Structure 1
Amino acid sequence: MMGRDVLRGVVGLVLVLSAGAACAQANQAPHLLVVQKGDASLGIVDLMAGKVVAAVPEGGITGHEVIASKDGKLAYVPIYGNSGVGKPGTDGHELVVIDLASQRVVGHVDFGHPVRPHMPLIGPRDGLLYVTTELEKSVTLIDPKTLKIVGSIPTSQEQSHMLALSHDGRRGYTANVGPGTVSVLDIKARKTLLVIPISGNTQRISITPNDKWVFTADQTKPQLAAIDTATNKVEKWVPLEGVAYGTTPTLDGRWLMVTMPGKSKVAVVDLKTMQVVRSVDTPADPQEILMRPDGKVAYVSCVGSHKIAEVDLGTWTVTRTIEDGANSDGLAWAGK
């Protein structure tokens, strides 16, 4: 018969191993990332628990947007500064790399001078990190393995704030806020192909899964510009209930979700008819939308209310809200 002390030791070892396995599983589990601008930190959201479980300091002035590495282990946060686009304030000059398991900054990319780096994306073909660098009127290319700058693409416009990349890796599109234009970029040749006028002011940008349509929001009227990528012209205007901000297509390419901060709503556009077919009420000030990788749920950062709304795409209802940090904005998915 096993002695009592031996039995206690075996039980203790099992508990330790179980706790270690649970911890490893938690580190490997998918997480929602949110940039908490008011706190100068990156929030890590445990979706099972429905709450922010960690806030990683970015090191001073804040970032606005984030992207995760393909393996879900790292987050890349360009440090934009404490101002809005086109407004006076600090001018960021670096990007920080955050290890999500240890929850700390483990790397930096210094651009060498102020550039206000903003929107990061991972290239679908080359795996490079693409970051808008506003003050240079460019998109900067970074090798995520070495954290070295390997090139840049001029946008030929001020305030190139947001970026969309085609899924075939051939084209890039920047929303140039103050000029109210969209720059079309040749990724391979690293040059601007043309600049498309939109309005007096524009915001955010997205591209459909089939690379046919690019959308950006007119900030002077309640409408969206729909750019046909075959002609690089605004072929349609989508009327809305209120002035739009962020746009994101569903992964099946059937719908386009559009935030309307002034209305505290998300409009849903049928991409076949280019008409709004419904709207979803959200907490105050919805801004950015992120699709869950399974395509069944969307997450909406609601900046003014310090919440993230979880939207069920089957019922088009907000199923829950998650409290996050001050002035939270950019969203990204870490894991599969």
Structure 2
Amino acid sequence: MKTLHLFLLAALAGTFSCNNPGNAGDSANSDSTAAQQPPAANDSGLLLVANKLDNTLFFINAETLELVDSTTTGNDPHEAVVTPDGRTAYTANMTGNSLSVIDMNTLEEVRRIDLSKYQQPHGLAITSDGKNLYVTTEGTQTVLEIDVAADSILRVFKSGQQGTHMAALSKDESTLYAPNLGSGTTTVIDLEAGEVIKTLATGEGTEGIDVSPDGKEIWITARSGSVAVVNAESNEIEATLPAAGLPIRVKFTPDGKQALVSCMQADEVIVFDVAERKPIKRIKTGAGPVGVLIRPDGEVAFVANTEGNNVSVIDMKTLEVSETIPAGDTPDGMAFR
């Protein structure tokens, strides 16, 4: 394993308020080569890494693993998401009570959406047409539906549960699932009916979630040491899998054959055989693995080590860590463009 030494290529972008978006052309890094020529949508693209205590978002070339650029965000960015057209990214700034809006052409924060009425935004999910963004807010036990074009809230769904943490859309995008960290439950929202239809008991410290590529299963981690397997058609728990070591996040491979579960206390990622619902390997990572993301080609996985301030790169053929790349202070959520 080797560590790549990365250097910033440009100064950090300035911050903007929602009322004063500012002029991206006036930013200190607007004339950088990286900002003018971001990777094309059909190449290996960019890995976005949210660094909570730095209040930054890193942009890393997902193939060369080199740092391309970075931008400032609101306070305490936990999760990130990119619109399907690749033009815009968002970070959920938990203690900043805001969303940062990032222009993916300039790789700069261009404005912030004020969510001070809805405290502690955290989880993010976006529809395939890029029109609606869903944001969980832990402080007010809600899921917000935001009109991306207008930066306005369309609907507010009350979970009635403590610590509404992450968000995931069903394959047909008719249902939203929101794990509740404090209550040990997962809220199921029928988006067409506009109401909560079920609350599943998914384990103490329910946190991470992912939907299988075929849309048939939802896997949900619980810090108490388990992964709940939910049938997407019936919204019932079919199985509960043991996962020792404080499981935090789960991510399916693009072919749906494997699922990776980060275990923060064990400093490991568990690789599950999805069909067999059994672990096939535990991979040592850096300190405090949390966010997990798999490159769209399925060849490489990235694990954000929040206590090690770096990202482990896993070769999905050998199931071994092949590289470790530096990140900012307490990296957490990640996204691809």
For normalisation by structure 1, the TM-score amounts to 0.84
Q: Does 1:76 align with 2:90?
A: yes
Q: Which moved more, 1:133-142 or 1:303-312?
A: 133-142
Give 1:266's aligned amino acid: V
Aligned length: 304
**Contact 2:287–2:308 (CA under 8 A) maintained in structure 1:** yes
Consecutive unaligned residues in structure 1, runs of 5 or more: 1-18, 82-91
Paired residues for 1:34-49 under 5 Å: 34-49=49-64
Shift of 1:305: 0.8
CA distance in 1, matches of 2:304, 2:262: 10
Q: In the alignment, which residue of structure 2 is the partner of 1:183?
A: 187
Structure having the larger proportion of residues in helix: 1
**Contact 1:108–1:147 (CA under 8 A) maintained in structure 2:** no
Give 1:139's aligned amino acid: V
SS at match of 2:265: helix
CA distance in 2, matches of 1:126, 1:193: 25
**Partner residue of 2:240 out of 224, 229, 237:** 237
**Contact 1:243–1:262 (CA under 8 A) maintained in structure 2:** yes
Q: In the alignment, which residue of structure 2 is the partner of 1:246?
A: 249
**Contact 1:166–1:211 (CA under 8 A) maintained in structure 2:** yes
CA distance in 1, matches of 2:108, 2:262: 32
Q: In the alignment, which residue of structure 1 is the partner of 2:317?
A: 314
SS at match of 2:248: coil
Q: Which moved more, 1:253-262 or 1:19-28?
A: 19-28
**Partner residue of 1:329 out of 325, 328, 332:** 332
Give 2:165's aligned amino acid: H
Give 2:276's aligned amino acid: T
Q: In the alignment, which residue of structure 2 is the partner of 1:279?
A: 282
- 1:291-329 Cα offsets, whole Å, 9 max, x none, are 211222211111111111111212212121110101011
SS at match of 2:48: strand
Give 2:303's aligned amino acid: V
Report the CA distance shift for 1:150/1:262 in structure 2 as closer, same or farther (over 3 A): same
CA distance in 2, matches of 1:23, 1:287: 28
For normalisation by structure 2, the TM-score amounts to 0.84
Shift of 1:54: 2.4
Q: In the alignment, which residue of structure 2 is the partner of 1:67?
A: 81
Give 1:325's aligned amino acid: G
CA distance in 1, matches of 2:177, 2:188: 5
**Partner residue of 1:192 out of 189, 193, 196:** 196
- 1:224-277 Cα offsets, whole Å, 9 max, x none, are 111222332222111234331110111111111111112211111111111111
Q: Which has the larger radius of gyration?
A: 1
Q: In the alignment, which residue of structure 2 is the partner of 1:87?
A: none
SS at match of 1:135: helix
Shift of 1:103: 3.3
Paired residues for 1:160-179 under 5 Å: 160-179=164-183
Q: Does 1:258 align with 2:272?
A: no
Shift of 1:135: 2.5
CA distance in 1, matches of 2:205, 2:107: 37
Report the CA distance shift for 1:268/1:121 in structure 2 as closer, same or farther (over 3 A): same
Paired residues for 1:53-202 under 5 Å: 53-59=68-74, 61-81=75-95, 92-124=96-128, 127-202=131-206
Shift of 1:32: 0.7
- 1:117-169 Cα offsets, whole Å, 9 max, x none, are 11111113563111112223221111222212222222232211011111111
Give 1:128's aligned amino acid: N
Q: Does 1:293 align with 2:296?
A: yes
Q: Which moved more, 1:171-180 or 1:241-250?
A: 241-250
Shift of 1:207: 1.4
Shift of 1:20: 10
Shift of 1:42: 0.9
Shift of 1:22: 8.4
**Partner residue of 1:51 out of 53, 62, 66:** 66
**Contact 1:154–1:190 (CA under 8 A) maintained in structure 2:** no
- 1:159-208 Cα offsets, whole Å, 9 max, x none, are 11011111111111111001000111101122100101123322211111
RMSD across aligned positions (CA): 2.2
**Contact 1:37–1:328 (CA under 8 A) maintained in structure 2:** yes
Consecutive unaligned residues in structure 2, runs of 5 or more: 1-30
**Contact 1:38–1:326 (CA under 8 A) maintained in structure 2:** yes
Q: In the alignment, which residue of structure 2 is the partner of 1:217?
A: 221
SS at match of 2:307: helix
CA distance in 2, matches of 1:126, 1:56: 22
